Structure 1
Amino acid sequence: MISRIALFKTLILAIAFTCSFASCFSQNGVTFLQFEGKEGPGKGKHIVMIAGDDEYRSEESMPMLAKLLSTHYGFKTTVLFPIEPSTGNIVPNFQNNIPGLEHLESADLMIMLIRFRELPDEQSKYIENFLKAGKPIIGLRTSTHGFAYQKSKTSPYAKWDWNGKAVGWEKGFGMRIFGETWVNHHGIHAKEGSRALVDGVQQMNDHPVLRGVNDIWVPEDVYGIKSLPSEAKVLIYGQSTAGMNAQAAPMWEKSVMPIAWTKPYQIEGGKPGMAFASTMGSSLGFQSEDLRRLIVNASFWLLEMPETITPDLNVEIVGDYKPTMFGFDTFRKGMKVSDFK
């Protein structure tokens, strides 16, 4: 017979896995960042940014983008993080907790960079409700394979699994919302970078997302793309480069792949919405001025403010930004939310 002590430990573990920021006693302090917008065209609108990957240092890039959008353009921005309940630390490879998703209730736009998350249902519900409302979403890098269900296969959100087989959700959240799931590393990971090739037809036709976007090189390699749906509109292709610096030669022997596109989406019981996806997005990659410009442009476009987009929008970084090399377990240990203010 199970002892009372063992039963108590089991209950504690269950609570730690399923609790949300609003109700869980094990959270230690504030678990999200929030920047009130200053003056600008985004004033009165709210962008929620979700960091939740264990490789590309979204816990560094999302606060940087949040400060940029808030300071230069007046958006209210909220940044959510993967939080280890027992310490309150930001732990990117803690897959099962992103508190604060209730902020999506007031969000006008969601920007995510997540990978293989398996969140408690009460947290995932906020993402589902956001999508049902048909609100716009940006997915970066590993967000094509943002969810992986190993423990809670009976969850109503297990259909979001990156390799799922549920009818209508084949290949999961990434495929349904962004048009692709994880395929492969088309470039050699951590040895080759990506040179952006802007679609000239889209740029000549003045697609607002591409205004002023001319020169992007990022150290993250090109991802394989197998089958974007016909309704997706590719804006930028990626060419592998023979090295991880901006001067590395393009590898013309390798085929190009889409690395930024738009796609409409709609889920059961929901309104139609629009997504923008890019397989770029490491914290190092965001040192590229035009990658930051691409995301700022996409934000205004998705919020139906294309007239705001000019080729010379201010995308200067606010404060210090010293991104960490991507990789598993390379994150800075003992980080608190306050470290990214």
Structure 2
Amino acid sequence: MSDIELRLRTRVATSPGADQHHVLVRRESWRPEETAVIVCDVWDLHHSQNAVRRATEFCPRLDALLSFARDRGMTVIHSPSDCMDAYQNHPARKRASEAPAAGNAPPEIAHWCSRIPAEEQAAYPIDQSDGGDDDDPKEHAQWAEHLRQLGRNVGTPWKAQTELLTIDADRDYITDRGDEVWNVLQQRGVKNVILTGVHTNMCVLGRPFGLRQMARNGMHVTLVRDLTDTMYNPARWPYVRHFAGTDLVIEHIERFVCPTITSDQLLGGDEFRFSGDRRPELAILIAEDEYDTRLTLPELARRWRDDFRITIIHGSEQERNDIPGLEALREADLLLLSVRRRTLPPEQLKVVRDFVAAGKPVLGIRTASHAFCLRNMPAPAGAADWPEFDQEVFGGNYTNHHGNQLKSQVTYADGNHPITKPLGMLPVGGVVQHGSLYMAAPLEPGATVLLRGELNPSAAAKQASPEPVAWTFQRRDGGRSFYTSIGAPLDLQNRFYADLLHSALRWAADIAGPAPAASRQPRPFVDDWDLTHVPLAELPPAAVAATRATLTGAESNHVWFRCAVRLTDHWVGRDGVTIELPLEHAAVWLNGAVAQHRDAKFLIPREAIDLDDANLLVVRLPINEPLSIAPRVQSAGRKRELTGRWQLRIGNGDWSNIPLPARYGASTDILFETTNDE
């Protein structure tokens, strides 16, 4: 049997400790007989109707993938958690339970895994503490009633895997136990695991057979990123569409857990897309050192995720004329450029040339007019340039810029264009441009000027003519472009220029209708839980400012802190644990149960603890009494001080618990773990 050819996508920091990442693809050949596909929790029913709808939509594609896997000799394992009773006499269930015990079973392979070491310093990308249900409330109530009529538990209505997925009784395996999955993998000589199913941010990551356990125990594991779905509610931070929330979780996985693939690599054709997600693919290419767009553009891109699936491609920080991961441009529908004077390896520049020649939209800001050539110099030996890029792609004629100390005023040249009309009227005199005014005139035929800039009156500016600042261009290859010389950091903080870029992207992608409303801007530490560090001598300035600006004294007389603590069976003694916290007015809850207070300690009985699992710990204090001492967990002579990242929120809501177990709802960035040697 021939090998399976895969393209595994990962994200690697552009430099140690950097928040920017290269999106890299490596090609690998996997032997089918050494490869398993694990299907995670694709149940017959779910408490969220939207979750059922999305799973139903991708199941035909997933079933085709499983058929392909069997035909190629791969091992197929179905893992619908909590549903083994439905398969007591199924041959595939017996086959899994009868697999011989592996001699190399990892010590915690039977347990949920809330985090692996690579994630310890990572900020988790979404808030799923409400359970992630994104149903319409009215539909949700109707769905709950439907489940009751079926005789199902409304909260956990699943009893089996969906019938939309075929289980081959002669070849497949059924188990939801991590140790049994491990036994099957060892028995079959499996080295590679392909994981698919739901939900990405909960079970796919955390189950005993999930991505974290496979990755930390040495399996070569990958996620099929187009055959999965998250439990994420757009009404929660970061307030993006459901599918954009899935994107963020997948990016987290690619950075810290394992690579991902798409189903078309196995089945051919196109990757699967949900019918509700038709966002174009936007590639943002950043390789310049003058204006810090490596910081400003990713921040702006957060606002564009509802309209676009976004890949940010960064130039190398070690080699000026190299852009790792540029191959991602081949999959993009449109390109936004912020590049300055890079001469690239010929094969890299060819990727850009091919993209332009295909007639796809290109947008550029600031130094993109001189992206791929040096000033009055040829490219170095072995490198390629494109001196005509400005004229051919943007219709521009950049020659220089006015002095950096000179400010300019920007006004409409065409305020009724589809790009500028949604922006509304400008203030009298226009909008200031803090970056120097570029000299770009005269433009090529086919250019339509939208914004014009003029230097503020001064002796140095007396002879200066107005310059085009933003324009569109109809290219000879049939594609259309947009360019603006705006791009300095202060300018991109201006809401008008930020909206200009968003509007231009929508125009380039032919997205009709009004732009989505700006993402909700929550009040820090008031509308959401935000990260802080404990012990905390005083409230963060942002929390103080938000409280003073928006809350009355009656509304803000409590401050809440929460974290998750993984308590192992061996660590917890028979009497449970105590939380040592010598603060007179503190109240403490564990998993929603209030803790009994005695002599600066809070008592948690063993039966209230989810052993070998995450537990939600919540502390409430008066607003004037922050958590100035890190709580200490104690049991059977062992101690664990909870110094580190917690979440903080101010107000009088009832925030002592979340509506689901901490293993599902608590984020990895506030997790503390106990070890037997503490």
**Class of the TM-score when normalised by the shorter of the 2 chains:** 0.5 to 0.7
CA drift at 1:44: 2.7
State the one-letter code of the partner of 1:137. Answer: V
Query: Aligned runs of 1:1-341 on 2, under 5 Å?
Result: 30-32=21-23, 38-39=241-242, 43-70=278-305, 73-85=306-318, 94-148=319-373, 150-152=378-380, 157-158=384-385, 160-161=386-387, 172-185=388-401, 187-189=402-404, 191-199=405-413, 202-203=414-415, 206-210=416-420, 211-213=422-424, 214=426, 216-241=431-456, 254-266=464-476, 271-309=477-515, 313-314=517-518
**Distance (Å, rounded) in 2 between the aligned partners of 1:292 and 1:317:** 16
Contact 2:345/2:382, CA 8 A, preserved across alignment: no
Q: Secondary structure at the match of 2:451?
A: strand
Superposition TM-score, scaled by structure 1 size: 0.66
**Distance (Å, rounded) in 1 between the aligned partners of 2:367 and 2:453:** 16
Q: Which runs of 4+ in 1 moved over 6 A?
A: 315-320
State the one-letter code of the partner of 1:274. Answer: R
State the one-letter code of the partner of 2:419. Answer: V
Per the alignment, residue 3 of structure 1 pairs with none
Q: Which has the larger radius of gyration?
A: 2
Distance 1:285 1:42, change over 3 A: farther
State the one-letter code of the partner of 1:212. Answer: L
Contact 2:447/2:473, CA 8 A, preserved across alignment: yes
CA drift at 1:319: 11
Contact 2:397/2:442, CA 8 A, preserved across alignment: no
Unaligned runs of 5+ in 2: 1-8, 25-124, 126-224, 226-239, 245-275, 525-678
Contact 1:135/1:273, CA 8 A, preserved across alignment: yes
Report which structure shows greater RCO (CA 8 Å, sep ≥6): 1
The structure whose residues are more often strand, as a share, is: 2
Distance 1:224 1:195, change over 3 A: same
Distance 1:80 1:314, change over 3 A: same
Percentage identity across paired residues of the two chains: 26
Q: Secondary structure at the match of 1:118?
A: coil
Distance 1:217 1:307, change over 3 A: same
State the one-letter code of the partner of 1:55. Answer: E
CA drift at 1:141: 0.8
Select between 42-51 and 58-67 the one with higher mean Cα deviation.
42-51
Deviations 1:45-67 (A, max 9, x none): 11111111121111112211221
**Distance (Å, rounded) in 2 between the aligned partners of 1:232 and 1:316:** 36
Deviations 1:50-94 (A, max 9, x none): 111121111112211221211xx2421111112134xxxxxxxx5
CA drift at 1:287: 0.9
Deviations 1:196-219 (A, max 9, x none): 1112xx32xx31100225353221
Contact 1:233/1:262, CA 8 A, preserved across alignment: yes
**Distance (Å, rounded) in 2 between the aligned partners of 1:316 and 1:118:** 41
Per the alignment, residue 12 of structure 1 pairs with none
**Distance (Å, rounded) in 1 between the aligned partners of 2:451 and 2:354:** 30
**Distance (Å, rounded) in 2 between the aligned partners of 1:288 and 1:241:** 18
Q: State the number of aligned residues.
A: 259
Q: Secondary structure at the match of 2:329?
A: helix
Contact 2:398/2:441, CA 8 A, preserved across alignment: no
**Distance (Å, rounded) in 2 between the aligned partners of 1:301 and 1:319:** 32
Contact 1:300/1:308, CA 8 A, preserved across alignment: no
Unaligned runs of 5+ in 1: 1-21, 86-93, 162-171, 244-250, 321-341
State the one-letter code of the partner of 2:453. Answer: G
Superposition TM-score, scaled by structure 2 size: 0.35
